[in-house]
């Protein structure tokens, strides 16, 4: 860091300009909550200054104290030097306006399934109040399970993960949302720790990155647990197991909502007979797929 950065950067605006320049110069990779240098600079700066994450304008020309400047510059330098996702630096991630605690034991929450849960999976779920049982497979930080519990207020939610570390993070989030009575966490491999019961909704953001893509991941993604990303040679290893077992855990009118990222081609090749509904979201990238129990059982 240039020594004059400590004295010449006087306002929030100055710090933001400096951060964007540093991020661009370092050719950082974004995709853990923001997709560009400006948004990331704003997020880290406001976080370091203990300002609301969605209120920048009134503070742009505010002078910062030396200790505040030091805190902001420390975050900027770590982001550049270590290539750590911003969420691990701040130990929080925001999804559809909801804050979740995160650290390097879980992947950074970013699933577009969150957007679909915001509308209660309409029109595929006729009445969110009638949903009694929801399952979140490969729950990680618990973010989708929590958003499902909020979307379906009458439902009991089960959330499963193989990683004890991930479930420790999820437990913290469940407690912060006060959902201990309705949201149960289970440790084990996919459906294995669950009793066979009919869920009206199963959501799942499984490890689906194919082997070649895993080897080409930017440094930022290498900070995330590999077991939460890697899906085998074609990315479909766990997806195969999930689709095979899912009909036994879905109610007659049940739906499975599955994220597969950029693996559209590998999915189609692995399951040529399946014709899922592709659900569009505002998030850039591939749509989410939806399958009914009827489709899966056949």
Q: CATH number of the domain that 175 lies in?
A: 3.40.50.150
Q: Poorest-confidence range of 115-119, 120-124, 220-224, 230-234? A: 230-234
Same domain flag for 80 and 121:
no
Helix orientation angle between 143-151 and 164-176, rounded to the nearest 10 degrees: 40
Of 4-18, 158-172, 212-226, which one has max mean pLDDT?
Answer: 158-172
CATH number at residue 20: 1.10.8
What does pTM read for this prediction?
0.93
| Contact yes or no for 58/2 (Cβ under 8 A) | no
Same domain flag for 187 and 110:
yes
Report the DSSP pairing between strands 92-95 and 98-101: antiparallel
pLDDT of residue 2: 56
Dist. CA 3–CA 154, nearest whole Å: 57
Same domain flag for 111 and 83:
no
Provide mean pLDDT across the span 53-78: 95
Instruction: Give one word for 50, left, alpha or beta, with left for phi > 0 and alpha for psi -120 to 50.
Output: left
Same domain flag for 143 and 263:
yes
Position 236 confidence tier, pLDDT thresholds 50, 70, 90: confident
Q: How far apart are the first and last CA of the chain?
A: 61
Same domain flag for 288 and 165:
yes
Provide mean pLDDT across the span 9-34: 95
Which domain does 67 fall in, by range?
A: 5-90
Number of domains in the chain: 2
| Contact yes or no for 277/269 (Cβ under 8 A) | no
What residues have CB less than 8 Å from 128, skipping those under 6 apart?
120, 121, 122, 151, 152, 153
Q: Count Cα atoms within 13 angstroms, Cβ side, for 91.
A: 3
With respect to residue 96, please indicate whether it lies within any of the assigned structural domains.
no
Q: What percent of the chain has pLDDT over 70?
A: 96
DSSP reduced 3-state for 160: strand
pLDDT of residue 284: 62
Dist. CA 78–CA 83, nearest whole Å: 7
**Furthest CA-CA distance within the chain:** 68
Residue 16 has pLDDT above 70, yes or no: yes
Residue 141 has pLDDT above 90, yes or no: yes
With respect to residue 109, please indicate whether it lies within any of the assigned structural domains.
yes
- What count of residues does the chain have? 298
With respect to residue 70, please indicate whether it lies within any of the assigned structural domains.
yes
Same domain flag for 157 and 254:
yes
Residue 203 has pLDDT above 90, yes or no: yes
With respect to residue 261, please indicate whether it lies within any of the assigned structural domains.
yes
Residue 254 has pLDDT above 90, yes or no: yes
pLDDT of residue 144: 98
Mean pLDDT of the chain: 92
| Contact yes or no for 214/229 (Cβ under 8 A) | yes
| Contact yes or no for 68/51 (Cβ under 8 A) | no
DSSP assignment, residue 282?
S
DSSP assignment, residue 11?
B
Q: Poorest-confidence range of 42-46, 73-77, 271-275? A: 271-275
Same domain flag for 229 and 258:
yes
Instruction: Provide φ and ψ at 110, rounded to 5°.
Output: -160, 10
Residue 1 has pLDDT above 70, yes or no: no
Position 224 confidence tier, pLDDT thresholds 50, 70, 90: confident
């Amino acid at each position: 860091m240039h020594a004059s950065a400590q004295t010449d950067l006087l306002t929030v605006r100055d710090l933001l300009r400096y951060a964007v320049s540093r991020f661009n110069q370092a050719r950082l990779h974004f995709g853990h909550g923001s997709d560009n240098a400006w948004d990331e600079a704003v997020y880290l700066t406001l976080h370091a200054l203990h300002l609301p994450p969605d209120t920048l304008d009134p503070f742009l020309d505010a002078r910062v104290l030396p200790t505040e400047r030091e805190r902001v510059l420390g975050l900027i330098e770590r982001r550049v030097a270590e290539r750590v996702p911003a969420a691990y630096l701040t130990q929080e991630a925001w999804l559809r306006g909801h804050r979740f605690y995160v650290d390097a034991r879980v992947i950074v929450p970013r699933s577009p399934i969150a957007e679909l849960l915001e509308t209660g999976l309409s029109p595929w779920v006729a009445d969110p109040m009638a949903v009694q049982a929801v399952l979140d497979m490969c729950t990680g930080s618990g973010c989708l399970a929590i958003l499902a519990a909020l979307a379906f207020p009458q439902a009991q939610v089960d959330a499963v993960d193989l990683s004890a570390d991930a479930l420790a993070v999820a437990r913290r989030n469940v407690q912060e949302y006060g959902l201990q009575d309705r949201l149960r966490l289970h440790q084990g491999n996919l459906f294995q720790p669950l009793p066979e019961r009919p869920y009206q909704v199963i959501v799942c953001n499984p490890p689906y990155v194919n082997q070649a893509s895993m080897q080409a991941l930017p440094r930022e993604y290498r900070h995330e647990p590999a077991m939460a990303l890697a899906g085998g040679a074609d990315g479909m290893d766990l997806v195969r197991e999930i689709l095979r077992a899912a009909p036994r855990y879905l109610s007659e009118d049940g739906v499975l909502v599955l994220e597969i990222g950029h693996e559209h081609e590998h999915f189609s090749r692995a399951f040529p007979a399946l014709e899922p509904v592709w659900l569009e979201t505002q998030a850039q990238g591939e749509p989410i797929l939806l399958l009914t129990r009827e489709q899966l059982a056949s």
